[in-house]
C-alpha cells in the first residue's frame, strides 16, 4: 500500500543517514584526530567513539522529527538537521575534552560539521524528490455532523503530499454504505462521530486493509498512557491517574531550577536590550503581569515582556490576540514572533510557579468559560504549567481549546524525563516556524460558534462532536 511504501522509503533513508554520518565522523576521527592526539589507546577507540557520536546524532534527529521526511516540509527538515548536527558536534567535542583532559583542536570537528551539513542537505533533497513520485493517498472523509468538518477538509487539502480527499461521506447509522470505497481508495479519515458508528467503521476498515486516520477524543488520549494488566484470562488495561512519580517530580524540579537559573544568566543581555526597546518605544512598563493557573488550578502571577499597548485589556474581559491585532506594538510584534516575550517566565520557573515543560498556563475566567461545555478542560492542570509543551509545539496559538486540551493530555499521559528533553529540543526548532505565533483565525471562530450554540444547552463538547 501507498503508506507502507513511504514508510519503507523513510526507513531506508534513515539507514543511509546513519551510515553516511557515521562514515564521515569515523574518517575524520581516524585520519586526523588519531594522528593529532598522541595516545596509544586512541587507536582502539575509533569504533566506540563513532558509535557514541551516532547515538547522540540519532537521538537528536529523532527528537526533532528529522527522520519524518515524508510528513515534514523541506524547511522544517533543514532546521531539524542543522540543529542536530551543531549540537551533536559541540557535545562530542566537549566529551573529547573531558576524556583526554587537555586541549584538543576543534578544527577536525568543524570538518565533520561541514561534511554532515552537506550530507544532510543532499539527504533531504534526494529523499523528498523520491517521495514526491509517490502521490498522496486517496482518502474518504467520514463524518457524522458538519461541525468543523469544512475546516478539517481544508486542512487536509493543504497537506497535498499526505492526503487527497476524493469525497466526503456523512455517516448517520452504524451500517457502512455499500460501495463506499473505490478501488483506488485505501484510507479513511474518521471525524466527529458517535462511538458506535466509529467502532463499526474502524472494524470494517481493519477487515478490508484500509488505513484509518482518526480525530481522537479525550478517552482515546487517556488510554494512551494505559498499561497492560495480566491478572485474569482476558486483556485488561490499567489507566493511571498520574504518570509522574515522586522521583520524576524531583528530577523535573531539579532540572527546572538549574536550567532556568542558567537561562536567566546567559540571556541577560537579551533581557536588557528587550527592556530598553520596550521602554524607548512608548515609555510604558517593561513587564506584563497576569493571573494564570498552574497545578491543581492554583493561581500565580505570570511574567512576560509587554508586547501590547498599555492597558490593552482595560475595562474588558480576557481577549485573545487576533491576527494583525492593532493592540500589538512594533517591538511587540518582533518579540512575539521570536518568542522573546516569553523569556521572563524563566523567573516563574525558578520560583516554582511553572516548569520548563507542561501545559500553557491559562486564565481562570477562560478555564471556567470553557469548562461550561468541555467538562474535561481542567484535566490540563493535573501537572504544573509549562513554558513549552505538546500544545505549544504541535498546536498553534489559534488552535481551539478542545484541540489544545487533547495535546496537553497527550503529555500528561505520556510523561517521562526523556520526553521532556525531546520537547525542549523541539522548542529550538519551533522558534523558526512562524505559524505557531499567529493570532485567532477561522478555526477559533468555528469553535466559538459551536461554543455559543451549545453553551445554552450545557452540552459537553467531547460528546457533541463524537
- Name the residue ranges covered by the structural domains of the chain: 2-132, 137-215, 246-464
CA geometry: angle 438, 444, 447, nearest 5 deg: 165
Q: What is the reported pLDDT for 269?
A: 94
At residue 323, the 3 state secondary structure works out as coil
Q: Residue 8 above 60 pLDDT?
A: yes
Strands (E), 267-363: 287-293, 299-305, 355-357
Q: Is the separation of the CB atoms in 351 and 263 below 8 Å?
A: no
Angstrom distance (rounded) from CA 146 to CA 450: 11
Q: Is the separation of the CB atoms in 409 and 379 below 8 Å?
A: yes
With bands split at pLDDT 50, 70 and 90, how would you rate the model's confidence at 119? Answer: very high
User: Which pTM does this prediction carry?
Assistant: 0.80
Strand 163-170 and strand 137-143: pairing?
parallel
Q: Is the separation of the CB atoms in 307 and 331 below 8 Å?
A: yes
Q: What's the first-to-final CA gap in the chain, in angstroms?
A: 29
Q: Residue 240 above 80 pLDDT?
A: no
With bands split at pLDDT 50, 70 and 90, how would you rate the model's confidence at 437? Answer: very low
Average pLDDT, the chain: 82
Q: What is the reported pLDDT for 320?
A: 58
Any idea which fold 137-215 has?
A: Rossmann fold (3.40.50)
What is the pLDDT averaged over residues 28-53?
A: 67
Share of the chain above pLDDT 70, in %: 84
Residue 415 phi/psi, 5-degree rounding, is -55, 140
Q: What element of type H or E holds 367?
A: helix 364-371
Cell of 3: 503508506
Q: What is the reported pLDDT for 438?
A: 47
Q: Residue 337 above 90 pLDDT?
A: no
With bands split at pLDDT 50, 70 and 90, how would you rate the model's confidence at 416? Answer: confident
Amino acid at each position: 500500500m501507498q503508506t507502507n511504501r513511504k514508510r519503507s522509503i523513510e526507513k531506508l533513508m534513515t539507514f543511509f543517514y546513519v551510515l553516511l554520518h557515521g562514515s564521515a565522523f569515523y574518517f575524520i576521527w581516524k585520519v586526523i584526530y588519531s594522528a593529532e592526539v598522541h595516545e596509544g589507546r586512541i587507536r582502539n577507540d575509533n569504533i566506540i567513539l563513532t558509535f557514541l557520536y551516532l547515538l547522540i546524532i540519532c537521538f537528536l534527529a529523532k527528537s526533532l522529527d528529522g527522520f519524518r521526511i515524508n510528513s515534514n516540509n523541506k524547511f522544517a527538515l533543514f532546521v531539524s538537521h542543522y540543529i542536530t548536527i551543531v549540537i551533536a558536534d559541540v557535545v562530542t567535542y566537549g566529551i573529547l575534552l573531558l576524556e583526554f583532559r587537555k586541549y584538543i583542536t576543534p578544527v577536525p570537528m568543524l570538518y565533520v560539521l561541514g561534511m554532515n551539513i552537506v550530507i544532510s542537505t543532499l539527504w533531504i533533497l534526494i529523499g523528498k524528490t523520491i517521495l514526491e513520485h509517490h502521490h498522496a493517498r486517496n482518502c474518504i472523509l467520514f463524518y457524522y455532523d458538519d461541525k468543523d468538518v469544512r475546516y478539517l477538509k481544508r486542512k487536509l487539502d493543504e497537506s497535498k503530499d499526505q492526503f487527497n480527499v476524493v469525497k466526503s461521506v456523512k455517516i448517520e447509522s452504524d451500517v457502512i454504505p455499500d460501495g463506499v470505497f473505490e478501488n483506488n481508495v485505501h484510507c479513511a479519515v474518521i471525524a466527529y462521530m458517535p462511538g458506535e458508528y466509529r467502532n463499526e467503521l474502524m472494524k470494517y476498515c481493519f477487515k478490508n486493509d484500509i488505513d484509518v486516520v482518526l480525530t481522537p477524543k479525550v478517552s482515546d488520549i487517556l488510554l494512551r498512557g494505559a498499561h497492560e494488566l495480566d491478572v485474569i484470562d482476558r486483556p485488561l488495561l490499567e489507566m493511571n491517574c498520574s504518570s509522574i512519580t515522586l522521583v520524576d517530580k524531583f528530577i523535573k524540579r531539579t532540572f527546572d531550577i538549574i536550567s532556568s537559573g542558567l537561562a536567566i544568566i546567559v540571556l541577560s543581555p537579551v533581557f536588557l536590550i528587550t527592556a530598553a526597546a520596550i521602554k524607548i518605544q512608548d515609555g510604558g512598563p517593561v513587564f506584563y503581569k497576569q493571573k494564570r493557573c498552574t497545578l491543581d488550578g492554583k493561581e500565580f502571577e505570570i511574567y512576560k515582556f509587554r508586547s501590547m499597548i498599555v492597558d490593552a485589556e482595560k475595562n474588558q474581559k480576557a481577549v485573545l490576540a487576533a491576527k494583525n491585532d492593532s493592540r500589538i506594538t512594533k517591538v511587540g510584534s518582533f518579540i512575539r514572533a521570536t518568542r522573546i516575550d516569553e523569556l521572563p517566565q524563566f523567573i516563574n520557573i525558578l520560583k516554582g510557579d511553572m516548569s520548563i515543560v507542561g501545559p500553557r498556563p491559562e486564565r481562570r475566567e477562560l478555564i471556567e468559560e470553557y469548562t461550561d461545555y468541555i467538562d474535561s478542560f481542567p484535566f490540563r492542570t493535573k501537572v504544573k504549567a509549562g513554558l513549552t509543551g505538546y500544545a505549544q509545539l504541535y498546536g498553534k496559538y489559534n488552535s481551539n481549546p478542545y484541540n489544545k486540551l487533547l495535546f496537553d493530555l497527550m503529555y500528561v499521559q505520556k510523561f517521562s524525563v526523556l520526553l521532556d528533553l525531546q520537547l525542549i529540543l523541539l522548542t529550538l526548532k519551533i522558534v523558526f516556524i512562524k505559524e505557531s505565533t499567529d493570532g485567532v483565525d477561522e478555526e477559533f471562530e468555528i469553535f466559538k460558534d459551536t461554543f455559543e450554540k451549545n453553551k445554552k444547552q450545557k452540552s459537553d463538547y467531547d460528546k457533541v462532536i463524537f
